[in-house]
Chains A and B, each alone.
Chain A
């Protein structure tokens, strides 16, 4: 009888601090290779560009400097202002299109039978798991001037000139939609699955038409979740890289594209770092906004409940 108690006594302290040991690998990974590099990125953005203050040093930045010069350049050169503006506008368009397609898509997946649903969910995850270049290549084959759609329509003599579906905003939005949409679709489907189907039936039973009963129950209940999906979409759209550079023209180039250009083509790491840091700050600001927004929505809902 004594043995088990002593075992349990020995077991308990380990179990109490066990979480710390178990968290160590992930904390080292995230701390050492995500947070530290992020802080280092900020430091690099405060260096001067290489060679400008002589003394050799690094090939990529001048190691003895501490200056806000790069941010000054971003602020004063209207070119960068335009890039940021174009990125934000493009991201808004992408978010709108993604949500208009993702929400209905989640609705029809939610209504499928069990087997079909599993297949549809795999289909939604597939673009997220395959190579984005494979996806982009397929879209290129679909939309370009000599692509499948244009060739078919030309052969059928429906159009005389190829439709402009390439190297423009349409192509960029279409590409980024396919790349990003899986996130909101998966979020929305999981929300729908968690709802009580009896609610919509009750609304139907009370004489509401299918559309109205959907709107009054499912739609209103999933609105906060849909908002989260839209924000995640927006954050991803702000970081768009492949869509603009492969399917767009220079007018569609985003901050992300500019980060690459400054870093590698112009060999100016500090400026690339400053651009990337600004992008992160934008994302952080959005996160805070989302959190505040969700809190105020919850508070308003509680107040409504209280008044009823």
Chain B
């Protein structure tokens, strides 16, 4: 009996010490979350400043003047149109390439699967500067340098692996038995896809398209290498301003991108459970 009491006391003391030891873990983890969140909030706030300098606006003095400047400036307008066009093309390219590859990986057996998987994910592990310069040299060689397609195909190198991952996890959630049953009843592969698989993976497809769009819209380093005066995007227009000429206009441009991104992410999270992707 006494032994039991002793033991529970020991455990209790050990427990409280254990929790104290946990404190740094919680603090560091919280610091990380703050570091991820605070910069985004700050750059959003600065966009509403009424003055000429970078300041957090005092309550009650919020102004939309920098947004007005942004939307009325023809240079930024062209940039926004280019960004949207490139992002749409990236969405299309990576949706086709990523989804077909995902179907192959989830529904077929073939040799060197692990290697091919790595092959498709590879660009994610290469610094964007390298992808930027290698595509610059190659596009100059084959003569597509300076076109919007040149930027879109390069952004697709990052968007496709992502679509691939999202679609694989979506397809894993579709019961193969449904497809097999349809095949057993004599349906052709394309009919099976149209009538059964497609409706079930539609949310995944939409989320993939959104992700590809966001990635392209926000990509910067590769764009910096590939963009010419004719193919400037919002990102490449922000860049010189950020380095040499800090005005709240940059914050307004950033805020527009940020608000768009968050809106698209919010819709995506309604369509698909984020945790399922992990």
A residues lining the B interface (CB < 8 Å): 3-4, 7-8, 11, 14-15, 18-30, 33-34, 36-38, 40-41, 44, 60, 100-102, 104-109, 114, 117-118, 120-127, 129-142, 146, 148, 174, 177-178, 181-182, 185-186, 189-190, 193, 207-213, 232, 235-236, 238-239, 241-242, 245-246, 256, 259-260, 263, 269, 272-273, 276, 279-280, 283, 287
In the complex where A25-B97, A132-B220, A239-B130 touch, is A138 in contact with B135 (Cβ < 8 A)? Answer: no
> Which residue of A123, A146, A211 has the most chain B CB atoms within 10 A of its CB atom?
A211
B91, CB-defined interface residue at 8 Å:
no
Most B CB contacts (10 A, CB to CB) among A14, A15, A134, A193 go to: A134
Our pick among A105, A148, A245 for the contact of B33 (Cβ within 8 Å) is A105
Q: How many B residues have CB within 8 A of the partner chain?
A: 107
Measured between beta carbons, the chain B residues less than 8 angstroms from A185 are: 32
- Of B32, B129, B243, the residue contacting A276 (CB under 8 A) is B129
Neighbour of B218 across the interface among A37, A130, A260, CB < 8 A? A130
Contacts of B184 in A (CB 8 A): 4, 8
Knowing A241-B221, A279-B127, the reply to whether A209 touches B15 (Cβ < 8 A) is: yes
Task: Please report the C-alpha to C-alpha distance between residue A102 and residue B30 in the assembled complex, in whole angstroms.
Answer: 10
Q: Which of A129, A210, A235, A263 has the most CB of B within 10 A?
A: A129
Contact of A141 among B42, B215, B278 (CB under 8 A): B42
A177 touches B35 (CB 8 A): yes
* B100:A105 contact, CB within 8 angstroms: no
- Whether A211 and B18, one on each chain, are in contact in the complex, defined by CB atoms closer than 8 angstroms, is yes
Name the B residues within 8 Å of A114 (CB-CB). Answer: 275
Indicate whether A129 sits within 8 Å of B215 (C-beta atoms), given known contacts A8-B183, A137-B254, A142-B39. yes
- B47 vs chain A, min Cβ distance (A): 10
Contact of A260 among B110, B122, B225 (CB under 8 A): B225
Verify if B258 is at the interface (C-beta below 8 Å from A): yes
Interface: B37 (CB within 8 A): yes
